[in-house]
Structure 1
């Protein structure tokens, strides 16, 4: 066994675990949950493939590249594995429908799945007769699910959002590199190289959330860069050793600098409780098409609508709305929304999603069509809404207060966490979401075939079958 630079350090312990872990080491219930999580990620990719901003990205990349080996989901096009990973991730992140980790916020599927599927096609096309099994895909996915949140927890999870970093784009290259390294069966010293190459490419500015298209693509940078890192390490390219614990220029030292925490970073989280506590259990599936930090707001208003249907029919009688948020949610989604707003900004804004829930009674894909973003009724409520940081609120806790004119009583509701967090959506609910999302974008027989392959991954002898099905054309869900 080729050992990492310091086998007893956090980076070394992580690399040794990645090399040695097998499916037999992972609880059966966790393997089952991972298959449903993968299915959710693929649903998001199919929905996102032909959104307007996704089509712009595809057009730009296709102009740059000749045909290649790796599939672009929903397009019947093949390009280089690196660009396929970038685009397929952009699709998964395309409409704020994808998974998130409740303790160390990143969207794991948009980082891990595109890198793994692109690597699968690279392996299958360059090695005649070589196939990647569903078991290998499942194991590589779970490795990424475990690594990404641990890197995030070493930087205090969601706190990095308050510093203006896009957390998943920072934590994500490590997750993608770990997943692909496992798929490629790299030894521990090469895994260390891959992580070091991945970490030096990490970045993501959270100001992307306001009006840019590039917010959709930032997890794609992580997927592409992690894939590149593993492929370079496979050929013996040497990366940064001990990348997490280096005090000068190390990953944690640099991203933790000036964050106000004591200590600024926690190296012990990198390899903490590997194989005993499973971070995959912290991955949540979204019931709404909006940033996770808005979900408690949506649920608070839903609760008030259910309890006070008559009073909340009179939206014109609302005098003001106050939304109290925890620190990360406030910095991420408590900013003042101004008209006009793009769909990206709308899905990030607590004020906008609150108004949307009040007007439409739901916050799904249809609410963020271009023609829905400039409605007078929505903006009348947005302009009456203020968001405030409540320093006593832990993590996701939110309180909504709605004040009325004419002496009507104030309505108020507080929630510690939104639907889908505690408890998480069940496997049956994830399957229901898959079927709902795919119903209008691909033909039923194709959806059923993908579903069967993913939920029986251990029996799949060649993952290329999934790539082929995912590469077929899809419809735009919001036209």
Structure 2
């Protein structure tokens, strides 16, 4: 699709105009297929989250607020108001921190895009193709807005998915609602007053980050519907003294870094990385490096003298500091954001899946004996934030040193997971709570969605958990998670 807008138009209007003009013929079949892979990945994680306590508590809390409606929630038999379904689905998809990431923006795009689209598909006729296009549009907006910040959101204490995710979801919602360019402009202005998301969860490993994409999706629905009702809002969401970049990056000039001229020509969805491990994406390259050296040289943790992990220094606040707490994470969620724990666990256990985040692993003396021997340094080879590079240098007690560095983390552009890898991950996640037959039915519903005039088959496939699966099947799924 040719992007014929001029830079004299406001960024808000340029985003609205080109996003509403996108058609399926503008998108290569391969990208539509990859978008389905991202949707399948998100839905699989949404089901897996029901295995964990946070999901039950979140559902219980939202039920006390919820209104009746047609909104389908992954894994629930009953339906809720679409806005409440969006909140829950976003929380379920992001809850295990296993969902996809656009690397340069550090935004978990599918976690707010898909819940928004599913909520609207629950209340109106949305074709499968339009569902995919909504996710592509939301990703395009999120990725380009987030990338322009240059990694400053997290430095200032903001979670990128929380502060950026609402904008892509809002534009996608306006499109699915059949809105106009003017309405999409107003909706973005409304969204500006709803954006937010603190990184305070890092200090204690608590749950608030899990809510951020669900809140973005819920708020996007509100912004879009208010705009279509004629609610007035600032016509420029991103520029100016009180615009998005002034508020969330403390530099209004960052709006000039937004590359919208190539939007929908070079698609951001092509740079979305599906995760092979259920941990913070910053930890993936060091874990892969550690597993590579362990397998290649037969390393045993008791023979290791010390480990040096190389990352970009701007990643330290998320996965390295505070050092003492990262060495002994107190919760499953805190463990996800510790590169020392992740690398130590990979070297001791030879894998890093959901089981390796549970209490039995977090209290494993072999792992805890290794984490104090790990220290992190800034690595000049890092491509952050374009890719989440990383590596390890392992010094053995006999003085031998083994090193490995990955410039591009597995799952990122150039090293994308195959559809087979994605399905393996999907199956392992779903099998925590679903039968084998039901898991396959959900996968088929997702893969067929672009052939459907509406999303009713997909939505029906998402309802409920079905008959309880055996403990043996569930334990097998946990132990095999993240082996793609």
TM-score (norm 2): 0.89
Which residue of 309, 317, 320 corresponds with 1:334? 320
The aligned counterpart of 1:306 is: 295
- Tell me whether 1:235 sits opposite 2:229 in the alignment: yes
Distance in 2 between residues matched to 1:415 and 1:32, nearest whole Å: 27
5 Å-filtered alignment, 1:417-428, equals 417-421=408-412, 422-428=414-420
Question: Structure 1 residue runs of 4+, over 6 Å off?
Answer: none
Q: What SS is found at the alignment partner of 1:411?
A: strand
Q: What SS is found at the alignment partner of 1:49?
A: helix
Distance in 2 between residues matched to 1:423 and 1:402, nearest whole Å: 25
Which structure 1 segments of 5+ residues have no match?
Answer: 124-130
Shift of 1:149: 0.2
- Tell me whether 1:351 sits opposite 2:340 in the alignment: yes
Shift of 1:151: 0.9
Contact 1:51 1:94 in 2 (8 A): no
The aligned counterpart of 1:21 is: 22
Distance in 2 between residues matched to 1:35 and 1:355, nearest whole Å: 34
Contact 1:10 1:268 in 2 (8 A): no
Distance in 2 between residues matched to 1:340 and 1:12, nearest whole Å: 45
Change in Cα spacing, 1:401 to 1:327, as seen in structure 2 (3 Å) is same
Contact 2:154 2:160 in 1 (8 A): yes
5 Å-filtered alignment, 1:71-470, equals 71-123=72-124, 131-156=125-150, 158-209=151-202, 210-245=204-239, 247-257=240-250, 264-267=253-256, 269=258, 271-309=260-298, 312-313=299-300, 315-335=301-321, 336=323, 337-391=326-380, 393-395=382-384, 396-405=388-397, 407-421=398-412, 422-470=414-462
Shift of 1:273: 0.7
**What value does the CA root-mean-square deviation take over the aligned residues?**
2.2
Q: Which moved more, 1:162-171 or 1:389-398?
A: 389-398
Contact 1:323 1:386 in 2 (8 A): yes
Structure 1, residues 299-326: CA drift from partner, whole Å, max 9, x if none?
A: 11012112210xx22x223222221211
Q: Which moved more, 1:104-113 or 1:233-242?
A: 233-242
Aligned residue pairs total 458
Contact 1:111 1:222 in 2 (8 A): yes
Shift of 1:227: 1.8
Q: What SS is found at the alignment partner of 2:76?
A: coil
Q: What SS is found at the alignment partner of 1:355?
A: helix
Shift of 1:268: 5.2
Structure 1, residues 75-120: CA drift from partner, whole Å, max 9, x if none?
A: 2132222221111111111212110112111111111111111122
Contact 2:409 2:415 in 1 (8 A): no
Distance in 2 between residues matched to 1:264 and 1:161, nearest whole Å: 18
The aligned counterpart of 1:9 is: 10
Contact 2:345 2:356 in 1 (8 A): yes
The aligned counterpart of 1:126 is: none
Shift of 1:231: 1.7
Q: Which moved more, 1:274-283 or 1:432-441?
A: 432-441
Shift of 1:38: 1.0
Structure 1, residues 148-192: CA drift from partner, whole Å, max 9, x if none?
A: 101112212x34223322111111000110111111121100011
Structure 1, residues 333-387: CA drift from partner, whole Å, max 9, x if none?
A: 1221153521111011100101110111111111112332222221111122122
Q: What SS is found at the alignment partner of 2:394?
A: strand
Contact 1:40 1:430 in 2 (8 A): yes
Q: What SS is found at the alignment partner of 1:97?
A: coil
Q: What SS is found at the alignment partner of 1:319?
A: strand
Contact 1:102 1:283 in 2 (8 A): yes
Shift of 1:140: 1.2
Contact 2:312 2:379 in 1 (8 A): yes
Distance in 1 between residues matched to 2:253 and 2:281, nearest whole Å: 25
Distance in 1 between residues matched to 2:95 and 2:88, nearest whole Å: 10
Distance in 2 between residues matched to 1:268 and 1:188, nearest whole Å: 23
TM-score (norm 1): 0.90
The aligned counterpart of 1:127 is: none
Shift of 1:195: 1.3
Which structure 2 segments of 5+ residues have no match?
Answer: 479-484
Contact 1:132 1:462 in 2 (8 A): yes
Contact 2:75 2:464 in 1 (8 A): yes
Distance in 1 between residues matched to 2:93 and 2:354, nearest whole Å: 14
